[in-house]
Each structure stands twice: as structure tokens, then as C-alpha cells.
Amino acid sequence: MEHDASATLVRDGEILVAISQERLTRIKKDHRFKPDHLINYVLDATGYSIYDIDYVAVSTFMQGFGIRMFAHETPVNCVHDPRTLEILDRGHFLTFPWINDTVSVMPEEKYYAAVDIEIWGVRKPGFMVSHHIAHGSAAFYTSKFENAAIFSLDASTVSTHTPEASSLFMYGSGNKVYKLYSPGCMVGYMFENRCMDVGMGSGTYKAGSLMGLAPYGEVLPQAVEFEDELTASFWERKIAPRSYEEHLKWQWNLLSGMPPHVRFPKEMADSKKSMDIAASTQYIYEKTVTKFLDRLHKETRHLNENNLCLTGGSFLNCASNGKYIKNTELWENVHLMPACGDDGTCIGAALYVTHCIFDVPRFKMKRTSFMFTGKDYEIPNFPEWRNSVDLDYTELARMIKDGKVIAWYNGKSEYGPRALGNRSFLADPRSSVMRDHINFNVKNREWFRPFAPMVIAEKASEWFELDHESPFMLEAVPVVEDKKDLIPAVQHVDGTSRAQTVKQKDNPKIYKLLKAFEKETGVPILLNTSLNLAGEPLVETPQDAFNLFVRGNVDVLVIGEKMYIK
């Protein structure tokens, strides 16, 4: 359980189901913890009852009510702060302030706290796992690595904005995840705040927009001149004041020339000035991440085997990920899981308890087990929509070729923010007008937001500068030079694409459609974007998909073995 509120059910290390609350409440990034929604969902999906659950893992942040936590015992490596124990002993509902002061920022050996957790009046033993340990565990235990260094980086875990809450160096070995230390990297905050500064809105929702705007701008000379200071760890800063807020104000003033407390109005969010600031922000972010990852390699070289796990919401920055992975000579293997944001920490907490605390042996986890984690729904017919035919891949490929926009619904929902082929809008990547059409007429979002391609894995290197699989759409890579003119709808202004490679075994239906489209057009690629309208989360149920089809500017809905056509 976590914010972005989510829940999972794990059995002996196997992820049976996982879901973010936003998918169920239809409120994007819904952080209100509603146990009924989430727990009912994971129990219903697996056929278990609350009485069947042996242990409950929580990944630090809990907001709302409905669950009570009690101190259980205080073994070594447990919470020592007397206030926490007092609070837990009294059985108070857990809310932010106590966590901020005590458990979330766990000094040294405090990785987890043993607690009792009461759900619907049923008391279960459990563990509250430190936030970044949960992030790190989600990445390490879903990787194939026996040994790896782990970097967790996000905007914050607490409202007090401390360096310890923003980043953590860890390493994993066999069944165990260990904390190294917090490197004081607070660059996630910068990214989030810059969204507000340029008038885009909250970085919680708009970080992707700032990333999308960056390639339109030019890196400002002062970002280069002050690079050392801008990329410094919290403890290394020399010029700017040390407090986080003061540092951000100094940065903003440096980049924008504005007084520190004056932000751009929202009308300036896509102005040339904002573009340059976005480019500079991305530049600072990339330089910072490179510096810290290189440092992590150096400090763990005797135990990392050149394997790296990246985790935390900051690593949804696919432009940075793509560049670093392409250019680094330090790491041989890099693993990201699709839910590397806070929604993934419920999986991390559960796997940490399973493997690290109880020493249950790891096994080779199938990629799809943490990629498509929703439950199986029975697909209804929608008789009210008269115009429907049986799914025909050739016919569907031809409709895409003719410029139709397809709402594609298939199997279990994806985990994490990216549509990976089960809840997607699909369209022709060759079209020069498709990007504007979907941005303006279908999804109602900013003009500068790019769309991603999904590509047959075996053909990926013919189209993209990609020498490895990229199944989770978390790396932006250059399009091969002589292919650039062929796929304008899935290419950003800088000539890169956030390519997702698709293997037949991971998603046979989407693979079959890619093959059919290739047969029609010679291009083994489809435009793929998340199946949701503006401001909404990814659709979850068949009914959600049908509702979107009826309301939205969509030509075809594919669901089950049917095509519904407008």
C-alpha cells in the first residue's frame, strides 16, 4: 500500500495482482488511501479473503483512514524513536507528521518497522518498509540480477524536503537489499518545481510536459556556467544557500532572471523562455544523474557486477534514461521496472518482506508478471453499439493505415503510468498530421507532447539506435537517420523516440497487429499512447473503455474479439 495509493498481493515472491487506486476511482494520481477499493480489488482478483493473508507490508506513506497500525515488537533494525512506538502502541491512525519525523527518513539501520496492521477489524502481523528501500526492492527483485547497485531518486517522500528523503544509494545481493547512504541528490525537486515556475502547473502531473517541452529550447549559458553548483549534492553546495527552498529560488532566478518569488503566468508555459528553461532543467537533471550514477558505480564496483537498477519517479524521465544508458561505459546491464514511481513501492515492500525479512528464495520473474498486473475481466458485449464485427487483424491494420484512431483494450491492465499495449490508443506512425490530431482532437493535451512508437522487437535496431530490449517505454533513443522521414508521428523534435520493443511472448495480440501493419505498410511500428482522455488515468475496466469510446473522438474500439466501429 502506498501513495500514489496502490496495492498488491504477493505469494512467495510471485506478484499475483497489483493496481493503482487512480484506475479504480478514475482520479489521476489519487493519493487518498481507500482500502476498500484496493484491498477488495486484489482479493477479488486472486480469490483470497482477508483471513488468508499472512502478512501485510506497507511502504511508509499512508494517508486516509480505515487501517490501524500497532507496534508489534522492536527487533534489531526496527523503529527506535520512542514517539513512534508510543503512537503505534496507542493504536492511533497513522498520518503524515509522525511518519515524517520518524519512520520515513530512517537513519542508518532502520529499514523497516514490525507492526500489527488491522484491516476491517482483522489484525495481521506486518511491516512498514522504508520508502526508498521499497523503491529499491521493487527494482532489484524484479530484475534478473544476483548482484546490483540500486539508485532510488524521486521528488520527495515527505513534505519536509530533506536530502535523505529524495535519494538513496543501495545495493542488492541475492535475497537481500541493503542501504548504502543518501547521496543528497535533490534534483527531483528541481524538476517538479520548475513546472510550477514556468506556469505549467504541479510537477506531480506536469513533469512529463516539461520533459516534452525541453527539446524545443536551448540550454541557457548560465546553466552550463554554473553546472558544478547546479548538479552538486545537498552537502556539496557552496554558492547557493543550503536550504532547499532558497536553493530553488536561486536556481530560478539564475535561469529566468525573474525575482525568486515571481513565476510565469500559465500563458507563458509554452513560450520560448519556458522552452529554454525546460531545456536547461533537463540539462541539469541529466548532468546530475550522470554524476551520481557514475559515483554509485565507483563506490560499489566491488559488488555491483556492472548491474544497475534505477527506481523512483525521477527515472520516468525517458530522455535522460535513454542518453545515460546509451552513453555509459560503466554499466553493462540496466534494469527499470515500469512502475518505478511511488505506485510501485507496494510491490517493493511486499517483495522486501518476502525475500529480505523471511528469506524466501528469489526466482526468475517473468517480465509480464510485473508489467501487466491488473485482474482479468469478463468481456461483455455492448449490444447498444450496433456497428460491431469480429476482430480481423488485416482489416484493423488497414483502418490504421487509413488514418483511423483505435482504442485498444486487451487483457490485464499495465502497471505504472505508461500504456504498454493493453490499454492503448493506436494509430499510424507515418502520418504527418496524426500527432496534432491526437493531441488536439482525441486527448486534448499540449501541442508539444510527443507520442511513442511500439516496434516489433526483432526490427527495433533497424529503426532506432537501440542495441537492447526496451519493453517498458522508459528510454528515448534516436531514430535511425534514414528512417526519420518515415515515422514523423512518433518522433520528437530532437529526432528521438520513446520506443517500446514488443516480443511475441510478452503480448501476442499486439505483436500480431504489428505484423499485420508491417505487411500492409512495410513499417513494423505503431503509434501507441495511453488509453485515457485528458486529465484521466488509464482506463481499467471494459466498461471504462466503452465509455471512453462513446465519449471520445475515437474511430474504433477493439475489445475482446470484437471491433466496435463509429
Closest C-alpha to 322, from 312, 313, 310 = 310
Closest approach, Cβ 131 to Fe ion, in A, equals 6
Closest C-alpha to 207, from 127, 320, 98 = 320
Which lies closer to Fe ion via its Cβ, residue 345 or residue 413?
A: 345
Out of 2, 342, 414, 475, the residue judged to bind Fe ion by CB under 5 A: 342
Alpha carbon distance, N-terminus to C-terminus of the chain: 40
Task: Work out the angle at residue 198's Cα, subtended by the Cα atoms of residues 195 and 199, and round it to the nearest 5 degrees.
Answer: 85
Which lies closer to Fe ion via its Cβ, residue 342 or residue 414?
A: 342
Stretch of 1-9, 334-342, 407-415, 442-450 contacting Fe ion, by CB under 5 A? 334-342
Dist. CA 262–CA 255, nearest whole Å = 13
Closest approach, Cβ 436 to Fe ion, in A, equals 34
Closest approach, Cβ 543 to Fe ion, in A, equals 31
Helix (H) or strand (E) holding 434, with range, is helix 434-436
Could you give the 3-state DSSP secondary structure of residue 149?
strand
Which lies closer to Fe ion via its Cβ, residue 3 or residue 498?
A: 3
SS (H, E, C) 506-525: CCHHHHHHHHHHHHHHCCCE
Stretch of 150-158, 369-377, 415-423, 494-502 contacting Fe ion, by CB under 5 A? 150-158
Closest approach, Cβ 418 to Fe ion, in A, equals 17
Closest C-alpha to 412, from 509, 340, 503 = 509
Stretch of 80-88, 93-101, 339-347, 474-482 contacting Fe ion, by CB under 5 A? 339-347
Residues 2-31 that bind Fe ion (CB under 5 A): none
Closest approach, Cβ 371 to Fe ion, in A, equals 20
Beta strands 388-390; 477-478: pairing state: unpaired
Closest approach, Cβ 295 to Fe ion, in A, equals 20
Stretch of 337-345, 430-438, 523-531, 557-565 contacting Fe ion, by CB under 5 A? 337-345
Amino acid at 101: D
Which lies closer to Fe ion via its Cβ, residue 61 or residue 226?
A: 61
- The answer to whether 61 and 99 have CB atoms below 8 angstroms apart is yes
Stretch of 78-86, 240-248, 268-276, 338-346 contacting Fe ion, by CB under 5 A? 338-346
Stretch of 37-45, 46-54, 113-121, 151-159 contacting Fe ion, by CB under 5 A? 151-159
Going by C-beta distance under 8 Å and a sequence separation of 6 or more, which residues neighbour residue 486?
Answer: 430, 523
Stretch of 146-154, 162-170, 428-436, 497-505 contacting Fe ion, by CB under 5 A? 146-154
The string of DSSP letters for 152-210 reads EE-S-SSTT--HHHHEEEEEEETTEEEEEE-----HHHHHHHHHHHTTS--HHHHHHHH
Dist. CA 137–CA 135, nearest whole Å = 5
Closest approach, Cβ 342 to Fe ion, in A, equals 4
In the complex, residue closest to Fe ion by CB: 154
Number of residues in contact with Fe ion under rule CB under 5 A: 2
Which lies closer to Fe ion via its Cβ, residue 231 or residue 314?
A: 314
Which lies closer to Fe ion via its Cβ, residue 342 or residue 475?
A: 342
Closest approach, Cβ 149 to Fe ion, in A, equals 18
Could you give the 3-state DSSP secondary structure of residue 233?
coil
What's the maximum distance between 2 C-alpha atoms anywhere in the chain? 68
Using rule CB under 5 A, residue 540 touches Fe ion? no
Number of residues assigned to the chain: 566
Which lies closer to Fe ion via its Cβ, residue 33 or residue 226?
A: 33
Closest approach, Cβ 417 to Fe ion, in A, equals 13
Long-range contacts of 539-548 (CB under 8 A, 24+ apart): 539/23, 539/409, 539/423, 540/19, 540/23, 540/24, 540/374, 540/413, 540/423, 541/377, 542/377, 542/378, 542/379, 542/380, 542/409, 543/380, 544/26, 545/407, 545/409, 545/423, 546/382, 546/385, 548/407
Residues 459-518 that bind Fe ion (CB under 5 A): none
| Site map (CB under 5 A) of Fe ion, residues 97-136, x = contact | ----------------------------------------
Closest approach, Cβ 313 to Fe ion, in A, equals 6
Closest approach, Cβ 132 to Fe ion, in A, equals 7
| Site map (CB under 5 A) of Fe ion, residues 179-218, x = contact | ----------------------------------------
Which lies closer to Fe ion via its Cβ, residue 212 or residue 312?
A: 312
Closest approach, Cβ 22 to Fe ion, in A, equals 16
Stretch of 174-182, 247-255, 342-350, 531-539 contacting Fe ion, by CB under 5 A? 342-350
Could you give the 3-state DSSP secondary structure of residue 284?
helix
Dist. CA 58–CA 65, nearest whole Å = 14
Helix (H) or strand (E) holding 113, with range, is strand 112-119
Amino acid at 74: T
Closest approach, Cβ 157 to Fe ion, in A, equals 5
Out of 2, 4, 22, 154, the residue judged to bind Fe ion by CB under 5 A: 154
Stretch of 98-106, 116-124, 336-344, 441-449 contacting Fe ion, by CB under 5 A? 336-344
Closest C-alpha to 298, from 283, 308, 288 = 308
Q: Which chain residues interact with Fe ion by CB under 5 A?
A: 154, 342
